[in-house]
Amino acid sequence: MDTPPDLVLFETLSLVDENFTISAIEMLIEAGWPVWMSFRRCRYGVCGIHGQVRGGPEGDNFGRLANKLERCGIDASLINCQPTARVSGTIPWLRDFTNLPLGVYPNLGRHVDPNWLWKDTTGRTLSPLPLPEIVVNPGVLVPTQGSYLIWKYLLNSGVGGNSRCLDVGCGAGILAVQLALNGATEVVAIDFEKEAVANTMTNAFRNGVVESVKGEVVDPYVFDPDEKFDFIVTSLYQMPTDPKGKFSGHCAIDFWGRNLMEHFIAKLRDFLRDSGTAYVMHLSLPGQYRTASFLEQAGYQCVVLDFALYDFNSVFEENLKQIERVEQLSDAYHFKFRNDNTMVMYLLEIRKKSAAK
pLDDT of residue 181: 98
Q: Is the dihedral of CA 271, 274, 279, 283 positive or negative?
A: positive
- Model confidence over 58-107: pLDDT tens digits? 788 888 989 999 999 999 999 988 888 888 888 899 999 999 999 998 88
Rounded to the nearest 10 degrees, how much is the dihedral formed by the CA atoms of 344, 349, 352, 357? -130
How many whole angstroms from its chain centre is CA 328? Answer: 35
Mean pLDDT, rounded, of the chain: 90
Eight-state DSSP code of residue 268: H
Q: Which range, of 21-30, 149-158, 344-353, averages the lowest pLDDT?
A: 21-30
Eight-state DSSP code of residue 227: S
Asked if residue 214 has pLDDT above 90, the reply is yes
pLDDT of residue 111: 62
Compute the distance between CA of residue 145 and CA of residue 272 in angstroms, rounded to an integer. 25
Average of per-residue pLDDT across 300-314: 95
More confident site: 221 or 336:
336
More confident site: 48 or 1:
48
pLDDT of residue 73: 92
Beta-carbon count within 10 A of 15 CB: 9
Average of per-residue pLDDT across 317-341: 95
Residues of the chain with CATH 3.20.20.60: 8-107
- Model confidence over 157-193: pLDDT tens digits? 999 999 999 999 999 999 999 999 999 999 999 999 9
Compute the distance between CA of residue 25 and CA of residue 38 in angstroms, rounded to an integer. 13
Residues of the chain with CATH 3.40.50.150: 145-355
Compute the distance between CA of residue 279 and CA of residue 235 in angstroms, rounded to an integer. 9
Whether domain 145-355 has CATH 3.10.20.440: the reply is no
Write down the pTM of the prediction: 0.70
β-strand 340-352 against 335-337: which pairing, if any?
antiparallel
Which CATH number is associated with domain 8-107? 3.20.20.60
Rounded to the nearest 10 degrees, how much is the dihedral formed by the CA atoms of 313, 314, 316, 317? 120
Asked if residue 248 has pLDDT above 60, the reply is no
More confident site: 53 or 131:
131
